[in-house]
């Protein structure tokens, strides 16, 4: 039961102001919200008492005598930490972050996701324990966990659903697994969705609609529409890697890891390129190995990369028509094969998509250097724990 008048910002909304802006004074909050002095004082005192806001020491600006006036407040981002882990097909990247989602320290580990959750999650927990030791924090100071996986997820339940490659993960209760050690929220996202959120929030906050195309061992995409994640009704939105755009007749279509014939990733994913390179006498056992071959201008690798670029471009052109993004960010290990992949992508998107959909379309490389998923997870987690409704509920429970 809330006592706030309709439309009047509650403590959670007031706290949200401090997430988006530099330190604010009580007068700033009155001006921005239109709330009365007594209400602003009440909200800020409540947030201070709960430890969510901290009073800032006035800055002393050299040569100006005095800096920011006393009595300004900021989010207390060091009150706890967030832990995130991007679980990839063959490697994991984990990070400890402050409460704003800024990465403090990170670590990586080679790990095969197909070994299943009972093998993989203990490794994630070991990475988390090592990160906590590095930043000098205890488990009790962890305010949230977030993981991403290379497959579709049920966001509400934090379970992986019918993953094409992640054997043993289907319906596994990830939240339950961590609940014995951590008393905090846990979010689970598809990797491409987390990457899309990371790029959107960091580099394209005004883009409205963006698509992130992830080219790694597999192929996937994440969609941000009107500034919100588009997961679809069942979490399957954006699964571009398992669409079949070309003739899937059994005579010429390659078998996909999902069991279907002729999926996009069975023609153009990192694993498919490894398969095709092997068939032509070029043995590589990682996607990085594929990228290295392309970069050294190996003629077979270059030909396959260009062909893969055109298949990916064909798939992407359909997506551009349907979603009409302002920006498409191409990321993932295979995206590092640079121009060989990009040439085909660009050619297909601009020749096959509708003119209206490409008129202002920007096709960009990922700019977060392999960190897009962890950056996205940390920001999502920060949004989640500071969600105004959630904050109001916490505060009303604390005062009850």
Q: In this structure, is the dihedral angle defined by the CA atoms of residues 15, 17, 20 and 24, taken in order, positive or negative?
A: negative
Q: How far is the CB of 237 from Zn ion (least distance, A)?
A: 16
* Spatial distance between the Cα atoms of 146 and 268, rounded to a whole number of angstroms: 29
Identity of the residue, 53 or 256, whose beta carbon is nearer to Zn ion in the bound complex: 256
| Least gap, CB of 253 to Zn ion (angstroms) | 11
DSSP, collapsed to helix, strand or coil, labels residue 349 as helix
CB 191 within 8 A of CB 86: yes
- CB of 223 vs Zn ion, minimal distance in Å: 19
Residue in 287, 264, 377, 383 with CA at minimum distance from that of residue 336: 287
Alpha carbon distance 333, 374 (integer Å): 15
User: Which two three-digit tokens encode residue 372?
Assistant: 């897009």
CB of 95 to Zn ion, least distance (A): 30
Q: Which residues are near Zn ion by CB under 5 A?
A: 242, 256, 258, 260, 263
Q: Which CB sits closer to Zn ion, 153 or 395?
A: 153
Phi, psi of 93 (to 5 degrees): -130, 120
Q: How far is the CB of 272 from Zn ion (least distance, A)?
A: 10
- Beta bridge pairs of residue 126: none
What is the largest distance, in Å, between two alpha-carbon atoms of the chain?
80
Q: Tokens 């959670």 identify what position?
A: 12
Q: Which is nearer to Zn ion, 236 or 258 (CB)?
A: 258
**Quick one: tokens of 95?**
């990070």
Nearer to Zn ion by C-beta: 190 or 242? 242
* φ/ψ of residue 85, rounded to 5: -145, 125
Look up residue 240 and give its DSSP letter.
G
Alpha helices in the chain (DSSP H): 11-20, 26-33, 37-49, 117-135, 174-179, 191-203, 264-268, 270-279, 287-295, 299-323, 338-352, 355-358, 372-385, 388-399
CB 81 within 8 A of CB 101: no
Closer to Zn ion by Cβ: residue 81 or 256:
256
Task: State which residue, 260 or 286, has the beta carbon closest to Zn ion.
Answer: 260
In whole angstroms, how close is the CB of 389 to Zn ion at the nearest point? 38
Cβ at position 312, least distance to Zn ion in Å? 14
Rounded least distance, CB 256 to Zn ion, Å: 3
Nearest residue (CB) to Zn ion, 4 versus 260: 260
Closest to Zn ion by CB, 242 or 371: 242
């Amino acid at each position: 039961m809330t006592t706030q008048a309709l439309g009047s910002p509650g403590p959670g909304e007031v706290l949200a102001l401090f997430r988006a802006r530099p330190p604010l004074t009580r007068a700033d909050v009155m001006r921005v919200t239109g709330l009365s002095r007594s209400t602003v004082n009440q909200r800020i005192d409540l947030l201070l008492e709960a430890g969510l806001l901290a009073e800032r020491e006035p800055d002393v600006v050299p040569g100006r005598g005095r800096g920011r006036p006393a009595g300004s407040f900021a989010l207390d981002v060091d009150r706890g930490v967030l832990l995130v882990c991007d679980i990839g097909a063959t490697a994991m990247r984990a990070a400890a972050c402050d409460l704003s989602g800024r990465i403090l320290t990170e670590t990586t580990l080679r790990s095969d996701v197909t070994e299943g959750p009972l093998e993989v999650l203990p490794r994630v927990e070991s990475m988390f324990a090592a990160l906590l030791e590095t930043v000098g924090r205890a488990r009790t100071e962890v305010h949230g966990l977030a993981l991403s996986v290379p497959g579709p997820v049920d966001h509400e339940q934090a379970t992986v659903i019918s993953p094409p490659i992640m054997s043993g993960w289907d319906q596994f209760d990830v939240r339950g697994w961590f609940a014995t050690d951590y008393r905090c929220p846990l979010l689970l996202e598809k990797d491409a969705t987390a990457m899309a959120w990371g790029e959107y929030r960091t580099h394209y906050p005004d883009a409205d609609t963006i698509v992130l195309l992830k080219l790694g061992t597999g192929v996937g995409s994440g969609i941000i529409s009107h500034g919100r994640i588009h997961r679809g009704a069942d979490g399957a939105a954006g699964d571009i890697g398992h669409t079949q755009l070309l003739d899937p007749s059994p005579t010429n279509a390659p078998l996909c890891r999902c069991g279907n014939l002729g999926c996009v990733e069975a023609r153009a994913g990192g694993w498919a390129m490894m398969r095709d390179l092997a068939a032509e006498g070029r043995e590589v056992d990682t996607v990085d190995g594929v990228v290295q071959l392309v970069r050294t201008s190996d003629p077979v690798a270059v030909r396959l990369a260009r062909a893969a670029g055109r298949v990916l471009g064909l798939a992407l052109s359909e997506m551009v028509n349907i979603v009409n993004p302002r920006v498409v960010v191409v990321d993932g290990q295979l995206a590092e094969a640079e121009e060989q992949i990009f040439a085909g992508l660009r050619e297909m998107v601009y020749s096959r998509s509708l003119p209206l959909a490409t008129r202002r379309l920007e096709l960009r490389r990922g700019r977060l250097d392999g960190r897009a998923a962890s950056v996205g997870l940390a920001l999502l987690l920060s949004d989640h724990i500071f969600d105004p409704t959630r904050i109001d509920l916490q505060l009303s429970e604390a005062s009850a």
